């Protein structure tokens, strides 16, 4: 599949503000700063389409983009970001939870982003566990692979698979990517193509 058009639709504060579910959706989720917005730009080949920032917590709304007039990418706020309101920890954003559990069949799959450089993080495992419990379909996408070498990446993936095997019987599909080098672009689009109804 080639991306021929990518258009920003709308930003929404909650489920009620989401656009009509007329296109199948793939949602990008993961810890703040893991590279969700960067990946959206990489997939679509449009650098400034989604806002990227070194400061965690940049994406605060649910952002919808229509690709090829056929399907949507949804850039979600990151989880695990503490700087929301005084004393309040935004572990899992309420609107994200609402979106993920109420969008129905229109949500084809969650692209759950994980920083490939780190050992399994409690907050990521907790979120994966939650998706399994809720029956939310997901694949894991390991990001920022340009920042580690191939051997270390393989080792980290192996450790991750072991952690996952204790949580579920069938391992989820695993993809890797770098928004900096464009690695993984083809496989991501191949996955989307195969998952589209």
Residues that bind ligand GTP (CB under 6 A): 30, 32-38, 52-54, 56-59, 77-78, 143-144, 146-147, 178-180
> Which residues, at least 6 apart from 82, have a Cβ–Cβ distance to it below 8 Å?
89, 90
* Binds Mg ion (CB under 5 A): choice among 33, 41, 44, 59: 59
Cα–Cα distances (Å) from 187 to 42, 73, 104, 141, in that order, read 12, 16, 25, 11
Q: Which does 88 bind (CB under 5 to 8 A by kind): ligand GTP, Mg ion, none?
A: none
Q: Kindly tell me which of 77 and 164 has the beta carbon lying closer to Mg ion.
A: 77
Phi and psi, residue 190, nearest 5°: -60, -45
Stretch that binds Mg ion, among 55-63, 104-112, 147-155, 177-185 (CB under 5 A): 55-63
Residue 13 burial (CB count, 10 A) = 11
Query: Residue 148 gets which letter from DSSP?
Result: S
Q: Among candidates 184, 183, 99, 81, which has minimal Cα distance to 139?
A: 184
Judged by beta carbon, residue 65 or residue 164, the one nearer Mg ion is 65
Residue 72 contact, options Mg ion, ligand GTP, none, Cβ 5-8 Å cut-off depending on partner type: none
37 interacts with Mg ion by CB under 5 A: yes
Please say which residue, 111 or 164, places its beta carbon nearer to Mg ion: 111
Give the nearest distance from C-beta 53 to Mg ion in angstroms.
7
Nearest-angstrom CA–CA distance, 122 and 113? 14
CB of 59 to ligand GTP, least distance (A): 3
For ligand GTP, the closer CB: 60 or 161: 60
**Contact call for residue 63 and Mg ion (CB under 5 A):** no
Query: Among Mg ion, ligand GTP, none, what does residue 172 contact (CB within 5–8 Å per kind)?
Result: none
Confirm if 34 and 114 have CB atoms less than 8 A apart: yes
d(CA 14, CA 94): 8
Is the distance from CB of 24 to CB of 196 less than 8 angstroms? yes
Residue 22 CB, nearest approach to ligand GTP (Å): 25
| 95 is a contact residue toward Mg ion (CB under 5 A) | no
Q: How many CB atoms lie under 10 A from the CB of residue 83?
A: 12
Binding site for Mg ion (CB under 5 A): 36-37, 58-59
């Amino acid at each position: 599949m080639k991306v021929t058009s990518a258009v920003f639709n709308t930003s929404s504060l909650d489920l009620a503000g989401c656009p009509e579910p007329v296109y199948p959706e793939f949602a990008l989720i993961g810890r703040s700063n893991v590279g969700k917005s960067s990946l959206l730009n990489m997939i679509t080949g449009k650098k400034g389409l989604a806002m990227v920032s070194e400061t965690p917590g940049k994406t605060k709304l649910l952002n919808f983009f229509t690709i090829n007039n056929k399907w949507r990418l949804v850039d979600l706020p990151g989880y695990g970001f503490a700087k929301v309101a005084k004393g309040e920890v935004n572990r899992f954003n309420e609107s994200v939870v609402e979106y993920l559990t109420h969008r129905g069949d229109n949500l084809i799959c969650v692209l759950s982003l994980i920083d490939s450089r780190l050992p399994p993080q409690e907050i990521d495992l907790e979120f994966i566990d939650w998706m399994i419990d809720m029956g939310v379909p997901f694949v894991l996408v390991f990001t920022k692979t340009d920042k580690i070498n191939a051997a270390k990446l393989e080792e980290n993936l192996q450790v991750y698979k072991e952690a996952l095997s204790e949580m579920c019987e069938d391992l989820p599909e695993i993809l890797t990517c770098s928004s900096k080098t464009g690695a993984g672009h083809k496989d991501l689009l191949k996955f989307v193509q195969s998952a589209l109804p």
